[in-house]
Amino acid sequence: MILVTNNEGTLGVPTTARLLADQAAALDAIEAGIRLIEADPSVRTVGRGGWANLIGQIELDACLMDGTTLRSGAVGALRDVLHPVSVARAVMQRLPHELLVGEGAARFAREIGAEPAENLIEDSRRVWQEWFDTTLTDAQKAAWPHIDLAALCRHAIDPEVGRDTTVFLAQDATGSICSGTSTSGWAWKYPGRLGDSPIVGAGSYADTRYGAAACTGAGEMTIRCGTARAVVLYMKKGASVADAVMEAVDDMRALKGGLISRVTIHAIDPRGNHSVVAVNGPGNNVYWLWDGAGEPRRCLAVAVRL
């Protein structure tokens, strides 16, 4: 058994590790851990307490993937729901689809009785209001929200604003490997923007036969490279988990134009090996590892530059 999660997974890692140790299924353990993070407003890049988009709304993305069946469930740009990861799981279990977004995802959440929530907490509202007051011209404020939002997207790539995710990769006692992600996306993103978190094969991918991978950071990059799926395919072709991640990093060197920024790739294989590589990061990226015994421990990711 093994569990890997990023620093944003701190609140959920003890619960997920305990459930795995108690022989719970990987999908159940991952969902339980992520739900704790989504509900805690101290994690400002996931769930309740996340940063607002350009028009002051919280839009949430989440995904779960079962590496044994290769079924996935994902939601994107979902509003007013406390646990998008559980709505994503219901997509997997109740629908013939893999991904729902926007109002369709919200309608489905209501149908299944998903717990509603006001995810824009007061501090997030205050920060957004300060941005609005100091950034927009008087003419823009007077016409709000009927203005050109595209011109404001430059604020979404400000390195000082949040743009992270929580990712969980786990193998349970039966050998099944699963992945999970959840995020509120970037602060000041264009309404309706999806990052890589709900995109199977970009932000996460799991295949019990070969391993799993999940990414945080600039999702636009991993969408373009199909990073999570690529890592698993490299392992399928015989690469070690460490070499597979580095091959996926090398894929990113072909990116030209668009946003070239920070990405962290997390990966595990069926033999209990793992690799976490921080691309273009500050060099102090930490993650959590539980290797089937004892307590989860913090580790330092390998740092590389493109």
CA 182 to chain centre: 4
Count of residues for the chain? 306
Q: Look up the pTM and report it.
A: 0.94
Strand pairing report for 177-183 and 60-66? antiparallel
d(CA 86, CA 63): 9
Q: Which residues of the chain have a pLDDT value below 50?
A: none
Rounded CA-CA distance 83/139 in Å is 38
> 276 lies in which domain range?
2-304
| CATH code, domain carrying 104 | 3.60.20.30
Per-residue b/e over 207-243, b at no fewer than 16 CB within 10 Å? Answer: bbebbbbbbbbbbbbbbbbbbbbbbbbbbeeebebbe
Instruction: Measure the CA–CA gap between 88 and 49, rounded to whole angstroms.
Output: 20
Running DSSP on this structure, what letter comes out for residue 52? P
- What is the predicted pLDDT for the residue at 179? 98
Known catalytic residues are 165
What local confidence, expressed as pLDDT, does residue 68 receive? 98
CA angle 228, 229, 232 (to 5 degrees): 95
Domains of the chain: total: 1
List pLDDT tens digits, range 38-65: 999 999 899 999 999 999 999 999 999 9
